[in-house]
A and B are shown apart, each in its own frame.
Chain A
Amino acid sequence: MTTGFSWLTLVLLVPILGAVAILCTPRREAWLIKTFALIAALATGFLVLGLLLNYSQAAATGSPISFKYAENVQWLPQIGASYRLGLDGLSAWFLALNAVVFLLGVVVALVRGVDRPKLFFGLLILTEAATAGVILSTDLLLFYLFWEGMLLPLYFLLSSFGNEKRQRATVKFIGYTVAWYLLMLLAIIYLHTQAGGSFSYDAIAARQTTGQSIITVPGFGWKLLTPDQFAFLAFALAFAIKVPLVPFHTWLPDLYESLPASGLTFFAGIVSKLGIYGFIRYAMTLFPKEMHDFQGLLLALALLSILYGAFMALQEVDIKRIVAYSSISHLGFISLGVFALTVIGLHGAILQVINHGIIIAALFIIMELIEVRTGTRDRSLMSGLEKAMPWMYFLFMITALAALGMPGLNGFAGEFMIMLGAFEASWVLAVIAGIGVVLAGWYMLRLHQGLMHDPLHKGTKEGMTDLRLRERWVLIPLCAAMVALGLFPNIVGQLDQGSVQQYMAASHTQPASAITQPTPLTHEVHA
């Protein structure tokens, strides 16, 4: 049973209560719905802030990774599943990003207005509960429950709000992802048996990965993989689709193109990053040997994402799709940081997750504001907006520069760490990532200049107004955060020191790997 007050359950409960409150209020009182939504988002935000502030004082339990505010309640004793929640350095930052991004989603929805507030806000807050659940749960079955549960409100949200192509995009997304998650469930069950009948993270992490006999195809004698490798591939596939790494990314551009900005802030902000979270928390620590075996393949996929995303962003015409592909390229960077399996790389990845969350949210908001003003999303039909909207130009410039990783802004801080980590793994990675940075500079500038500079395009509508005060005050805090994180990235650094060491230690049991032995920068200092 839990000793202290179960804070984490509160973090889950508050959004659910908010959603219930919203669903109860009649459709007429739109303002009441909006206030409930705002209250729920703010309450979660402050709760998470409180947790973060006295994070260091909290007691920590748990073997490979020590979790704080741990909760453990028997749920299904027959099959060894228990309702276990926990927070470590890594998930603390994901939780913070989760709260910030959903608060932003609510605020953007309020500023931009939304036609069916009851449905929208109810589902939005419910999704927040689900994603928080994914981040907090330390029991694999509970994790899977939230992981699939997240798709439920998302499906309704995605298919009922957005432009004309949303139906197809949503079906493609949901169908695409759910089909592969079942593999992960299989892997979880396999782990459950391996760990002697319990779903808890510690038990599974401590399972004996004894000599696995390689499965051979009966009758043909083909040598396949060991069961652990199969399980790892199942996990990796599920997370790769979520991240998305390139071959599995085709759902992303269609979906992002059809979603409104309020939906995109939280979707691009946190939902697409849970794949990274999964890789670090589950794939890296539960399958250390397999992670090293497949490290080459995963690194190749990450690099492919960077370059492919950059090339596609270079060529796209629809501005939202450009930002979608740039998001793929950035996520490729983050996964490069994770797969390099070095301390610096992991630090950089966590930092870049937060940076990317802020940048991509701001970018999508700006894209929607431009789309509203010029009435089109086609890059070739717009130019010379700077004269009409100096504020938009200024804020869009800062966001674009942060996105292309200009040193001094937050994009650079994360990318520098990731490239340094990747450089340690092997110098080729850093060089290719460098090419990615140059391409990022190219397409981001093309986007920014294409819209802002050059004489006013004859096609654009007349009488375009600059950003209204409300819209301005949504973007200014984001840009301020970009500059602040660019100059003081250490805020993120301190909190996850301990857990990054633990993750590296947990993933180092069998270090033999194709790439040169990843030397941690910590002189083998173990927490």
Chain B
Amino acid sequence: MSQGFVTTVVLLVLGFPLIGSLINAAFGSAKRRGLVNIVGTVSIGAAFVVSAVALIVMLTAASSHRAVTVTLWNWYVVGGSLSVAFQATLDQLSIIMLLVVTGVGFLIHVYSVGYMEHDEGVARFFAYMNFFVFSMLFLVLAADLVFLIIGWALVAVSSYFLIGFWYERPSAVAAARKAFITQVIGDVALVIAAFLIVTNVMSPIGTHIYSLSMPTIFHNVASFQYGSSTVTWICLLLAIGAFAKSAQFPLHTWLPDAMEGPTPVSALIHAATMVTAGVYLIARFHPLFDRAPIIQGLVACVGIGTSFMAGIIALSQVDIKRVIAYSTMSQIGLMIYAVGMGAYAAGMYHLVTHAFFKALLFLGAGNVIHAMHDEQDIRVMGGLGKRLKITEKSFLIGSLALSGIPLFAGWFSKENLLGYGVLNGPGHVALLLYIIGVCINVLTGLYAFRLWAIVFKGEPQTARPAAAHEAPRIMLVPVVILAALSAIAGFFLWWPVAFGSVRVQDFTQFLSPVFTSITSGPLAHEPGVASGWIGMLVGTAMSLIGVGGALRLWLRREPDAETVASRIPRFITQLSMHKFYFDELYDAAIVRPLRAVAKWCRKLIEPEIMDGWVEGVGIGVDDLGNTLQPFQSGLIRDYIAYMVFFALLFVIIIVGVVVR
């Protein structure tokens, strides 16, 4: 692909959402709702069209020169050595992310036209949504560390706006701030990683090359010895950045609170795009990660751990959006596990399929909430299937895909993932991780169909479901499209298809040039499903067990769910109920002490020590004045006495000095 073509693609893809956001921000208002809706959705649609065209052109081009890096403008030149420039790369990895972000984004924008009908902040909403898509694309296209960090922060800021969209709700405001602070931590980790990279990149002939552009870094990646401490530190910091963004174990507490935002926001940000940025980052920096085996192991373990924990918590949640949020955290955990093991293509594959069915679940939940007039507690719902027929059916497809039932999208990507895990997971814990992965399949099946059964099946718990009405058409169309996609996406992306001259290889082969051409570490080749048959069979079986169990518990209610729950030891249910107490832990461990130190500074240090010595000087001079004042007693005899005394002293000193 030619430089000129790529530059135009990059500028168009970035330009459309930015212009849409600016127009909506400047001229949008509740009155001109029509204009706002059109501008909002069209800009994302245009971006999707441009990226589709780019995909087609890329497919026609020979697989060798599909990755093209373009320089937009010089950011900062330091005396000829370090010159930082805005560079964008369009290669297989970023085109996939482009398509996912703009495609799913477009469907969600169409959906939110209906969802935000009676919300007067619609202009602000679409402005923020467009700005979010712009920053996500900015991040994905980044080919320069500075460009990447800026995109990273822009995504954090736009998610801050969107989570805190209903700014009158204190809980939303707090959730937005919490999300932003966690992202800033990830951002700082990324910045320090960038420093480490810049100061350690050596050209083959051993001279320091100070450049922040990723192609040159990866070209000279040989300068980082395999398993050396610098590479380990760099990858650890990159991993922290990824965990912050993808809500993985240490920095995951912001994701459930982020459900305070409107449902389309949750769908776009917390299902399809933002949380996957962490997976993309690790995939993009795979040459470095391949050289840091310890970190890869760590990443895989954290991925599986988070996934398992989220699965347990999801089982006990009562808010419909929080259940899906925890399921997102669990699935992202699987992706992190995949890229942690070096199965970058498998991770990306699961990312794509997950984007479809998770967005579908969120939009379905949106329909339910819309129908129940903003009621999110599933205990109040029940038997909605009769009223919301289309939503119920697409929600079912989504749940099937999520829990990995064969022939649905989830099954292809998840089993591919776990299949790879069986054969060459990290070090000696590979089998253990695989077993936990398979247990996660059970958990996924359980909570997916628990949700479906409670919300749509059974008889209504309260009178309110009776009043529910099916969502308007504009909200149903995206849901149906997504249902179709999550049904056939696995199959469609799996089998190589040829349209005339355009040969669409299967997903992994399409991505393989990105992940093989540069890495000189252990070749991360993708096993065909064949070699992982055993893994796949075990995985599918566990999923079916999960689904069956869920249907028994919540559909036919043989052993009623509550009785089963009572038999499970109390501390597990409590743990699950209170989200493993992480919120309280972080609050006590970090937030409160920092605030205490700050208060201590203000109350004690500032007035006493800092101000103290300045005021002290003043007070000291006053005291000196007071002590000397009585000498002016006004009595002549005192004055004479002083004279005599000092005269005497004077004489003694003179004589003393002279005599000695």
Residues in B with CB closer than 8 Å to A477 are none
Which stretch in B62-70, B187-195, B526-534 binds the other chain?
Answer: B187-195
Is B76 at the interface (CB under 8 A from chain A)?
Answer: yes
Contacts of A384 on B, CB cut-off 8 Å? 167-168
A384-428 with Cβ < 8 A to chain B:
384, 386-387, 394, 401, 404, 406-408, 412-413, 416-417, 419-420, 423-424, 427
User: Which residues on A sit within 8 Å (CB–CB) of B657?
Assistant: none
Beta-carbon contacts under 8 Å, A340-366 to B: 343-344, 347
User: Is B157 close to A, CB under 8 A?
Assistant: yes
**Nearest B residue (CB) for A435:** B188
Q: Which of B176-184, B414-422, B474-482 contacts A (4 or more CB under 8 A)?
A: B176-184
Whether, in the assembled complex, A453 has its beta carbon less than 8 Å from a beta carbon of chain B, the answer is yes
Say which one of A3-11, A32-40, A187-195, A489-497 lies at the interface with B. Answer: A489-497
Flag whether A208 is at the interface (Cβ < 8 A). Answer: no
Across the interface, B614 reaches (CB within 8 A) one of A250, A449, A490, namely A250
Complex CA gap A437/B601 in Å reads 18
The 5 closest A-B pairs by CB, nearest first: A434-B188, A441-B184, A407-B150, A423-B195, A407-B153
The segment from B339-347, B388-396, B557-565, B592-600 that touches chain A is B592-600
Expressed in whole angstroms, the Cα–Cα distance for A247 and B606 within the complex equals: 10
Contact A493 B76 (CB under 8 A): yes
Taking the complex as formed, is A370 at the interface, i.e. its CB lies under 8 A from any CB of chain B? no
A490→B157 contact, CB < 8 A: no
- Asked if A407 meets B184 with Cβ closer than 8 Å, knowing A246-B610, A315-B598, the reply is no
Closest to B617 in A: A179
Task: Report chain A residues within 8 Å CB of B176.
Answer: 449
Jot down 29 A-B pairs with beta carbons below 8 A, ordered by A.
Answer: A250-B606, A251-B614, A308-B601, A311-B597, A311-B598, A314-B595, A315-B601, A412-B150, A416-B146, A416-B149, A417-B78, A423-B192, A427-B192, A430-B192, A434-B189, A434-B191, A434-B192, A437-B184, A438-B184, A438-B188, A449-B164, A449-B173, A454-B173, A489-B75, A489-B76, A501-B79, A521-B210, A522-B81, A525-B79
Q: Which residue of A lies closest to B149 (CB)?
A: A407
CA A404 to CA B185, docked complex, whole Å: 13
The listed residue (B167, B597, B601) touching A454 by CB distance below 8 A is B167
Is there an interface contact between A445 and B199, defined as CB atoms closer than 8 Å? no
Contact B74 A490 (CB under 8 A): yes
Expressed in whole angstroms, the Cα–Cα distance for A430 and B190 within the complex equals 12
Task: State how many angstroms separate the Cβ of A165 from the closest Cβ of chain B.
Answer: 14
* B residues less than 8 Å from A446 (CB atoms): 177
Q: Is residue A316 contacting chain B, with contact meaning CB distance below 8 A?
A: yes
The answer on a CB contact under 8 Å between B150 and A441 is no
Residues of chain B in range 169-215 having any CB-CB distance to chain A below 8 Å: 170, 173, 176-177, 180-181, 184-185, 187-189, 191-192, 195-196, 198-199, 208, 210
Chain A nearest Cβ from B428, distance in angstroms: 33
Which of B76, B152, B185 contacts A490, CB < 8 Å?
Answer: B76
Chain A residues, Cβ within 8 Å of B170: 454-455
Contact yes or no, A441 B81, CB < 8 A: no
Q: Across the interface, do A312 and B192 meet the contact criterion of CB distance under 8 Å?
A: no
User: Is there an interface contact between A416 and B601, defined as CB atoms closer than 8 Å?
Assistant: no
- B602–A316 touching, CB < 8 Å: yes
Interface-central residue, B79, B152, B192, B595, by most chain A CB under 10 Å: B79
Chain A residues with a Cβ under 8 A of chain B: 172, 176, 246-247, 249-251, 308, 311-312, 314-316, 343-344, 347, 384, 386-387, 394, 401, 404, 406-408, 412-413, 416-417, 419-420, 423-424, 427, 430-431, 434-435, 437-439, 441-442, 445-446, 449, 452-455, 487-490, 493-494, 497, 500-501, 521-523, 525
Q: B611 on the interface (CB 8 Å rule)?
A: yes
Q: A407-B152, A437-B184, A490-B76 are in contact. Are A419 and B598 (CB under 8 A)?
A: no
A442–B649 Cα distance when bound, in Å, is 65
Tell me, in angstroms, the Cα distance from A493 to B82 when the chains sit together: 12
Q: Does B73 contact A (CB under 8 A)?
A: yes
A453 x B167 contact (CB < 8 A)? yes
**Whole-angstrom distance between the alpha carbons of A384 and B164 in the complex?**
13
Contact of A438 among B177, B181, B601 (CB under 8 A): B181
Given contacts A312-B602, A406-B157, contact A522 B180 (CB under 8 A): no
**A-contacting residues, B253-273, CB 8 Å:** none
Nearest residue (CB) in A for B188 is A434
| Cβ–Cβ < 8 Å partners of B598 in chain A | 311-312, 314-315
Chain A residues, Cβ within 8 Å of B431:
none
> With A419-B191, A430-B192 known to touch, is A413 a contact of B76 (CB < 8 Å)?
yes
Q: What is B's interface to A at a CB cutoff of 8 Å?
A: 25, 73-82, 146, 149-150, 152-154, 157, 164, 167-168, 170, 173, 176-177, 180-181, 184-185, 187-189, 191-192, 195-196, 198-199, 208, 210, 594-595, 597-599, 601-602, 605-606, 610-611, 614
What is the distance, in angstroms, from A249's C-beta to the closest C-beta of chain B? 7
The answer to whether A490 and B79 touch (CB under 8 A), given A420-B198, A438-B185, A454-B167, is no
Closest Cβ of chain A: how far from B154's Cβ, in Å?
6
CB contacts (< 8 Å) of A449 on chain B: these are 164, 173, 176-177
A contact residues around B185 at 8 Å (CB): 438
Using A427-B196, A439-B594, A441-B180 as known contacts, list a sample of 7 further A-B pairs with CB atoms less than 8 Å apart, ordered by residue number in A: A315-B595, A407-B150, A407-B153, A437-B188, A437-B191, A489-B76, A521-B210
Could you tell me the distance in whole angstroms from the C-beta of A226 to the nearest C-beta in chain B? 27
Report chain A residues within 8 Å CB of B195: 419-420, 423, 427, 430
A250–B177 CB distance below 8 A: no
Which of A408, A419, A445, A455 is the one whose CB lies under 8 Å from B154?
A408
Knowing A311-B601, A438-B185, the reply to whether A493 touches B192 (Cβ < 8 A) is no
**A253: nearest residue on chain B (CB-CB)?**
B606
- Known contacts A384-B168, A431-B192; A521 and B180 CB within 8 A of each other: no
CB neighbours (8 Å) of A521 from chain B are 78-79, 81-82, 210
| Cross-chain contact B153 with A406 (CB below 8 angstroms) | yes
A250 contacts B210, C-beta separation under 8 Å: no
Tell me if A176 and B614 are in contact (CB < 8 A): yes
| Contact of B79 with A343 in the complex, beta carbons under 8 Å | yes
Contacts of A408 in B (CB 8 A): 150, 153-154
Whether A423 and B199, one on each chain, are in contact in the complex, defined by CB atoms closer than 8 angstroms, is yes
How many Å lie between the Cα of A162 and that of B512 in the bound state? 67
Give the chain A neighbours of B149 by CB distance below 8 A.
Answer: 407, 412, 416
Please name all residues of chain A whose beta carbon is closer than 8 Å to the beta carbon of B199 when the two chains form the complex: 423-424
Point out the residues of chain B lying under 8 angstroms from A315, CB to CB.
Answer: 595, 598-599, 601-602
Which residue on chain B has the smallest CB distance to residue A251?
A: B614
- Our pick among A407, A417, A453, A523 for the contact of B76 (Cβ within 8 Å) is A417
Q: Looking at the assembled complex, report how far the CB atom of A215 sits from the nearest CB atom of chain B, in whole angstroms.
A: 25
- Complex formed: what's the CA distance from A176 to B147 in Å? 45
Q: Which of B167, B210, B614 contacts A386 (CB 8 A)?
A: B167
Cβ-closest chain A residue relative to B135 = A408
Specify which chain B residues have a CB less than 8 angstroms from the CB of A417 in the assembled complex: 76, 78
Nearest-neighbour CB distance to chain A for B230, whole angstroms, equals: 11
State A268–B195 Cα separation when bound (angstroms): 31
B509 smallest CB distance to A (angstroms): 36
> Taking A430-B192, A445-B177, A449-B177 as contacts, is the C-beta distance between A454 and B73 under 8 angstroms?
no
A163 to B463, CA, bound (A): 62
Of chain B, the residue at the smallest CB distance from A446 is B177
B81 and A490 form a contact (CB under 8 A): no
Chain B residues with CB below 8 A from A488, complex form = 73, 75
Q: What is the bound-complex CA distance between A490 and B84, given in angstroms?
A: 10
Complex Cα distance, B75 from A407, in Å, reads 12
From residue A181, how far is it (CB to closest CB) to chain B in Å? 16
Chain B nearest CB, measured from A304 CB (Å): 11
> How many angstroms between the C-alpha atoms of A387 and B167 in the bound complex?
9
A449 to B163, CA, bound (A): 13
Closest CB-CB distance, B207 to chain A, in whole Å? 8
**Are the C-beta atoms of A494 and B77 separated by less than 8 Å?**
yes
Which residues does chain A contribute within 8 Å of B610, judged by CB atoms? 246-247, 249-250
Whole-angstrom CA separation of A85 from B602 in the bound complex: 43
Contact B164 A453 (CB under 8 A): yes
Residues of the A chain whose Cβ atoms lie less than 8 Å from the Cβ of B81:
343, 521-523, 525
B146, B154, B188: residue with the most chain A Cβ atoms closer than 10 Å: B188
